[in-house]
A = this chain, B = another copy of it.
Amino acid sequence: RFYFLIFLEVLMFICKHEVQYYETDRMGITHHSNYVRWMEEARTFFLREIGWAYEKIEEEGIISPVTSISCDYKATSTFADVISIEINVKSVKSARLSFVYHMVNQNGVLVCTAASEHSFLSKNGGFVNLKRDYPSFFNLLKEHSVMQ
């Protein structure tokens, strides 16, 4: 049982975001566009944790535009709430990476589930083939992906 718990902790990537006043709107709740930004915070966190910090990826000459996002808002959040954002690789292909997100508040209430897709481009605009050009990064993402 003890080993099982440790095992789980290693596999989970959770970053925290405290909702700021400037993120609320006049409905009294977090404006829905901010969740899209928190997804980016979670990716930044995840990539750093696995040793491929986004600033390093950029230094390698790779840029990674977002190609799609979706959010399902399950409950509202507001100023001073602390949101835990769990991020997981959904799948990784040669030039395409997708993540899923699960956001809960400080009381364990699910506030949002989300997904995003990303491509990889070199600075001159061509697609980067992750599998061929960055196999160690590709394999690391593969290892962490939910659908292997």
A interface with B by C-beta (< 8 Å): 20-22, 24-29, 31-34, 36-37, 40-41, 44, 53-55, 63, 65-73, 76, 78-80
Tell me whether B22 and A54 are in contact (CB under 8 A).
no
Chain B residues in 8 Å Cβ range of A27: 26, 63, 65
Tell me whether A21 and B33 are in contact (CB under 8 A).
no
> Chain A binding site: helix, strand, loop or mixed by DSSP?
mixed
Nearest B residue to A56, CB-CB: B80
**Most chain B beta-carbon neighbours within 10 Å: one of A26, A33, A40, A73:** A26
Tell me whether B73 and A70 are in contact (CB under 8 A).
no
Tell me whether B68 and A54 are in contact (CB under 8 A).
no
Nearest B residue to A121, CB-CB: B27
Chain B residues in 8 Å Cβ range of A53: 80
Tell me whether B69 and A29 are in contact (CB under 8 A).
no
